[in-house]
Amino acid sequence: MKKFYLVVVALAGLVASAFSAPVLMEGIAAIVDGKPIMRSEFLNNLYHFQETPEGAAMTEEQQKQYVLDKLIEEKVLLSRIDRDSIVVSDAEIDQRVTAHLSQLAASQNVNMATLEKAIRSQLGVSMAQYREQLAKQIRSHVETQRVRQRHVGAVSPTKKEVDFFYQTYKDSLPRQYNCVQLSHIQLKIEPDSAIVDSVKRLAENLVDSLNLGIKFELLAKNHSQDSSAEKGGDLGYYRRGLLDPAFERTLDLLKNGQYSSTPVKTDRGWHIVRVIGRKEDGVRSAHILLRTIPTAADSARVLQLADSLRASIKTKDDFSAAAKKFSTDKSSNFAGGLLGWYQKNEMEPAYVDPVSNLNVGEVSEPVEIDGSYHLFRLDDSRQIRELTLEEDYGKIEAMAANHLENEKLNALLKKWREEVHIEIRMTE
């Protein structure tokens, strides 16, 4: 249970701080655009910032100024929500809270009841209280991201900008400690084509029923193999980019109230898609899902292929060639399965056991993760390493993009601060 405790605290630190920080005298630290920054909020943030390496390097006055300034910036940013008419629905926040809790439970291989007990014993709050605090944190994060997306957008730095960022900041980029370089071959367990075709025919029969006038909600409740079935297939509002690409492409072709005339294939199965309504920042849709589920025979077939590949791989070149030919991971197969460098303490939990006992150059036994069999190869291992453009271009590119986005955002914040009333109340 000790390991689980550490993970709960690590992933829920922001929420935990709402319950674990010292009890403080209430008051107002500042007012931004008519909205208060409470003294307790300021002191809680200061309390946690002082425990960070960045905070420890500052004087107490510098710490206070830094924390208050960041809270003011956050409020200034959130003041754009009303000005820009950005709406984040309660349903979306509830979905995100549920997804977060499900991921937290899955990462520790526990059920929700066990997670609830851990939250109560470690944080001293009920699941309802925890969800409420988590929802506040997630709403603030989502609203901030929506403002960033609208005014800053995604920055794609050029190679020249990435090179310049690296040369400018390479001495301050984080090092990696106790790290490994991995490659993998992913073999997705797919259902037999005969099953896929038979499920498609069932979905086509449901489309025929819709064409005859049977209600979409009724068919969803009776036939959909998704948790949304009890709500008539209603998925609520989703922003673009959060759903399967094939699903979203179909939504784009439909008008409000229309359903897809042919079933849509995704990794989950066959969908009949319906548009309920649209907003500027999202689409409310419904679906009827008929799953295509691999059988034990499908799994055995893929495992046999994985065993065969492992037996035939003798060198790194053999592994690379097999990854290019057989791996279903499109993000790495073109590069011979190269995943890159990972600090062991930051690796995906499912990766840890398969590679923990490998020596450099060895290939793991096939391991099933999320509906695929994987072969992992330990390409290299180091106690400490610097990031380089040659081996870590993707990481450095992401850092450069974030740096450029922050520069653009900081310029906007400077302008926005002049447009709102800011009153500093706290003098201590």
Token digits for 223? Answer: 């036939």
Please, which pLDDT band fits residue 47 given cuts at 50, 70 and 90?
A: very high
Same domain? 202 vs 350: no
Q: What is the tally of structural domains in the chain?
A: 3
Question: Residue 2 pLDDT more than 80?
Answer: no
What angle, rounded to 10 degrees, do the helices at 127-151 and 90-107 form?
110
Q: What is the mean pLDDT of residues 414-427?
A: 89
Same domain? 146 vs 281: no
Q: What are the tens digits of pLDDT across the range 126-172?
A: 999 999 999 999 998 999 889 988 898 888 999 999 999 999 999 99
Same domain? 185 vs 250: no
Question: Residue 394 pLDDT more than 60?
Answer: yes
Residue 260 lies in a domain: yes
Q: Give me the pLDDT at residue 103, please.
A: 85
Q: What is the mean pLDDT of residues 364-385?
A: 96
Residue 401 lies in a domain: no
Q: What is the mean pLDDT of residues 79-84?
A: 88
Same domain? 264 vs 312: no
Please, which pLDDT band fits residue 279 given cuts at 50, 70 and 90?
A: confident
Same domain? 369 vs 239: no
Same domain? 249 vs 264: yes
Residue 164 lies in a domain: no
Amino acid identity, residue 280? E
Q: What are the tens digits of pLDDT across the range 192-241?
A: 999 999 999 999 999 999 999 999 999 999 999 998 999 999 998 887 77
Question: Residue 15 pLDDT more than 60?
Answer: no
Work out the end-to-end distance of the chain between its first and last CA atoms, rounded to an integer number of angstroms: 42
Q: Which long-range contacts (CB under 8 A, 24 or more apart) does 381-387 make?
A: 381/179, 381/180, 381/181, 382/176, 382/179, 383/177, 383/178, 384/175, 384/176, 384/177, 384/178, 384/179, 385/175, 385/176, 385/179, 385/341, 386/170, 386/173, 386/175, 387/170, 387/173, 387/174, 387/175, 387/176
Q: What is the mean pLDDT of residues 95-111?
A: 86
Same domain? 328 vs 419: no
Q: What angle do CA 175, 179, 181 make, to 5 degrees?
A: 115
Residues of the chain with pLDDT > 90: what percent?
A: 73
DSSP 347: S
Q: Give me the pLDDT at residue 149, please.
A: 87
| pTM for this predicted structure | 0.66
What's 233's domain CATH number?
3.10.50.40
Q: Is residue 340 helix, strand or coil? A: strand
Q: Give me the pLDDT at residue 242, please.
A: 81
Residue 163 lies in a domain: no
- The domain in which residue 284 lies consists of 193-291
Q: Give me the pLDDT at residue 427, please.
A: 56
Q: Is residue 313 a contact partner of residue 363, using CB atoms and an 8 Å limit?
A: yes
> What's the CA gap between 249 and 264, in Å, rounded?
10
Question: Residue 75 pLDDT more than 70?
Answer: yes
Q: What is the mean pLDDT of residues 12-37?
A: 66
The H-or-E segment that residue 279 falls in is strand 269-279
Phi, psi torsion values for 124, nearest 5 degrees: 75, 25
Phi, psi torsion values for 71, nearest 5 degrees: -65, -40
Residues of the chain with pLDDT > 70: what percent?
A: 93
Q: What are the tens digits of pLDDT across the range 139-152?
A: 989 998 899 888 98
Same domain? 25 vs 136: yes
Q: Give me the pLDDT at residue 390, please.
A: 94
Q: How many CA atoms lie within 13 A of 105 on its CB side?
A: 16
Same domain? 302 vs 278: no
Q: Give me the pLDDT at residue 21, please.
A: 46
Q: Is residue 239 a contact partner of residue 280, using CB atoms and an 8 Å limit?
A: no
Concatenating the DSSP letter of every residue in 235-251 gives EEEE-TTSS-HHHHHHH
Q: Give me the pLDDT at residue 425, please.
A: 87
Same domain? 77 vs 134: yes
Task: Indicate the average pLDDT of the chain.
Answer: 90
Please, which pLDDT band fits residue 428 given cuts at 50, 70 and 90?
A: low
Same domain? 268 vs 350: no
Q: What is the mean pLDDT of residues 309-328?
A: 97
Residue 319 lies in a domain: yes
